[in-house]
Structure 1
Amino acid sequence: MRTVKSFSFSLTEASKQSFLHWAQQYDEVVWLDSNSYKQAHESYQAILAVDAFTAIKTDAYNAFDKLKEYQTTTLDWIFGYLSYDLKNDVEPLQSNNFDGLHFPDLYFFQPKKLFLFTEENVEVHYLNMVDDELESDWKEILEFLHSSNYINPHKALDIKARTAKTSYIEKVDKFLEHIKRGDIYEANLCQEFYSENTEIDPLNTFFELNKISKPPFSVFLKLNELYALSASPERYIKRSGNTIVSQPIKGTAKRLANEVDDFNMIKQLQNDPKERSENIMITDLVRNDLSRIAQKGTVKVEELCAIYTFEQVHQMISTISCQVSSETTSVDILKNSFPMGSMTGAPKISAMQIIESTEDAKRGLYSGAIGYFTPSGDFDFNVVIRSILYNSLKKYVSFSVGSAITINSLPENEYQECLLKAKAMRLVLNPSI
């Protein structure tokens, strides 16, 4: 049973930091932040969940069945992630590439303490509250707000590429051969950048990454020694009652300092035949995925190839929605659409097989999803891109980037797109690069 209390409260950058500083006393922390980015289908400005009452973590074997049992038994707020390698539970696939991070394939927890922020209020939900615990915590948080919380910056990291540029270009050529043979129409080729035997301050690193990116699906996730610091601009999938919405990103262009040049870059992206074909192919893939669980005739494209502007890049985003029966379980919806089309390719199974045989690193949480379920079974998940992953016990820091390969791809251009997407993470981890 949760105790619920509301406070009039407006989030500022200072108050966000005070909540997150306060939260660091707990082993389990999830902070989800829209950064006040105005968009459709938004429920909360931000959410903070801390301190596990119950939890589930598992490898890919029967992972979705285990999650379904946990979610339907708990019937409460639960927060966590789905790693990309849950593909092995959905299809007869394997993940044999190098893994430096060692995150479980699936990890969710039921928080004891939950804060739901709207523009003018914060609603606080405490599970099995003891005496005046909520009031004393609120007082502590306000004390953090009025104190100095300076964190020493970490030293610049020695960042290495697991895939050399020449090797990446060779891999693009291999993808193009598969496309010419008709094995795939499109597939997402990713590469890892990493630093070994190193330490970072996860919270400070997150603040820096979020400050320069300000994305609508920002996440700070701490699960004991495991951290995800995400500046994701992409929603994977959301359920609100019987309505399902997915918003894949395909199509990227850099921001320019000059306003006229930046506007022209938007127009260029909007009319680029390669970028549009990428987006339309993945939109069709998402429509196909949703049709597995949708009520007949309800799958529709609300937006096709719309341009959204963020701090670092312009992105081409489509919005696909459908209606589902009340009897359709939330975990079944996820299972039938996972992994997301924007990070795999078309046809999806063939693309995932080729990705596994070509890439050099296990994706793990990268190109998976972080999000939550409500007690009623509604959910919202991002796509884990533009994200720094960190295992503090292994002292291993990693971020990955990728690009969609189609028949019109030029290998050099695809490599440069990867570097553009990596810019924010590289800048935070080593400003001198």
Structure 2
Amino acid sequence: MGKKSCSYTPDAQFAVAESTFIFDHLTRKVYFAVAPIFPGAKTDLIEMIEGIDPEDDEADELEGELIGAGDADRYMKGVLRSKVHIMDGDIFQVVLARSAKVRCTNPVGLYRRLRRINPSPYTYLFEFGGLSIVGASPETLFCAHAGKLKVNPIAGTCPRGKNAAEDDALARAMLEDEKERAEHVMLVDLGRNDVRSVCRSGTVRVEDFMSVLRYSHVQHIETTVVGSLREECDQFDAARSVFPAGTLSGAPKLRAMEIIDELEEEPRGLYGGGIGYFSVDGSADFAIAIRSILLQNDVATVQAGAGIVADSDPLREYQETERKMAAMKRALGVAE
């Protein structure tokens, strides 16, 4: 990519889990697992059990200091430049992102708050030395299990209402919005093409087309695409086929990524990447790194993007990024 494509964080970081603490939210049971191939596995298991802290300190309070919110005018000018690329025929759509920075020294407390404020299918906290990742992502990058591959493109956003009736009205308006529908259908088609590239002919299908999902501050349109992996393809082939997600880059992907590199202020780093695991049994499950916060040197970086199409309104797209950041800022203790 171009001059800004060099991130300040590792491109990828993986770990082999020798010991695992598993909490089943459905049964409320705790499990401990260690891999017997590792020396001292039994000792590790005992130490894990003895090291459990029963104290419930869910009441973490954070008072974040906003130290950088990005330039709204610059972002909106980027939207206009994106529309020029679209009118010139370079792309059909591009996801343009922006960031904000907040002072924060407590990743564990931040995780607890974000989990409560914005419950999501994927919540996570990773700590790698001086680098921490906290997130509550609504979107699957890909899930491979028992020979099946699943992705769930999310495209289309509107705010939450003050009550159920307002929620329904806003969701209905979103579903009837031609821009939102066209963008969603285009990205579902892109997801189908990604899945089809590694799946058996005739097995790729669309499920739950354009369903509405509700989160703490926004509502989204989501569709599920599934298929059966070809015999010669595994979870790593699946990862290559879908990454990066069209819902975080654009269409066509390569040209959209070049335009992202041209227009965004800084490298994306974590944003739009994947958070998940590859298992020895051939399965894998990754979330897209959205609604995610990167902490480094006591600074938390939050990022959000909006899908830009031919009839995008710059102010509306900027406001969409603000709504997507809202839960993260609230978790960080920054007043909305």
TM-score, normalization by structure 2: 0.92
The answer for the alignment partner of 2:181 in structure 1 is 276
| Range moving further from structure 2, 152-161 or 232-241 | 152-161
* 1:153 Cα deviation after fit: 3.9
- Provide the C-alpha distance between the structure 2 equivalents of 1:376 and 1:219, rounded to a whole number of angstroms: 22
Residues 204-261 of structure 1 show CA distances to partners (whole Å, capped at 9, x for unaligned) of: 0111111110111111111121111101111110001210000011011111122211
The percentage of counterpart residues that share the same residue type is 29
Q: 2:11 aligns with which of 96, 105, 116?
A: 105
Gaps of 5+ in 1: 1-92
Residues 280-300 of structure 1 show CA distances to partners (whole Å, capped at 9, x for unaligned) of: 111111111122211122221
Secondary structure in 2 matching 1:192: strand
1:251 maps to a residue whose letter is: G
Q: How does 1:296-375 map to 2 (within 5 A)?
A: 296-375=201-280
8 Å CA contact retained: 1:228, 1:387: yes
- Provide the C-alpha distance between the structure 2 equivalents of 1:151 and 1:287, rounded to a whole number of angstroms: 43
- Provide the C-alpha distance between the structure 2 equivalents of 1:370 and 1:405, rounded to a whole number of angstroms: 25
Residues 16-54 of structure 1 show CA distances to partners (whole Å, capped at 9, x for unaligned) of: xxxxxxxxxxxxxxxxxxxxxxxxxxxxxxxxxxxxxxx
Secondary structure in 2 matching 1:293: coil
Over the aligned positions, Cα root-mean-square deviation in angstroms equals 1.9
- Provide the C-alpha distance between the structure 2 equivalents of 1:174 and 1:160, rounded to a whole number of angstroms: 23
Q: Is 1:158 the equivalent of 2:66?
A: yes
* 1:136 Cα deviation after fit: 4.2
The answer for the alignment partner of 2:114 in structure 1 is 209
- Provide the C-alpha distance between the structure 2 equivalents of 1:417 and 1:424, rounded to a whole number of angstroms: 13
8 Å CA contact retained: 2:132, 2:294: yes
Q: How does 1:158-307 map to 2 (within 5 A)?
A: 158-162=66-70, 164-195=71-102, 198-307=103-212
* 1:139 Cα deviation after fit: 3.6
* 1:382 Cα deviation after fit: 0.3
Secondary structure in 2 matching 1:105: coil
Secondary structure in 2 matching 1:228: strand
1:112 maps to a residue whose letter is: E
* 1:305 Cα deviation after fit: 1.2
Residues 249-283 of structure 1 show CA distances to partners (whole Å, capped at 9, x for unaligned) of: 10111111222112211211222211111111111
Secondary structure in 1 matching 2:317: helix
- Provide the C-alpha distance between the structure 2 equivalents of 1:98 and 1:334, rounded to a whole number of angstroms: 22
- Provide the C-alpha distance between the structure 2 equivalents of 1:289 and 1:133, rounded to a whole number of angstroms: 41
Q: Is 1:415 the equivalent of 2:318?
A: yes
8 Å CA contact retained: 2:62, 2:331: no
* 1:376 Cα deviation after fit: 1.2
8 Å CA contact retained: 1:153, 1:201: no
Could you say if the C-alpha distance between residues 134 and 406 of structure 1 is closer, same or farther in structure 2, counting changes exceeding 3 Å? same
- Provide the C-alpha distance between the structure 1 equivalents of 2:6 and 2:242, rounded to a whole number of angstroms: 26
Q: Give the total of aligned pairs.
A: 331
- Provide the C-alpha distance between the structure 2 equivalents of 1:148 and 1:346, rounded to a whole number of angstroms: 46
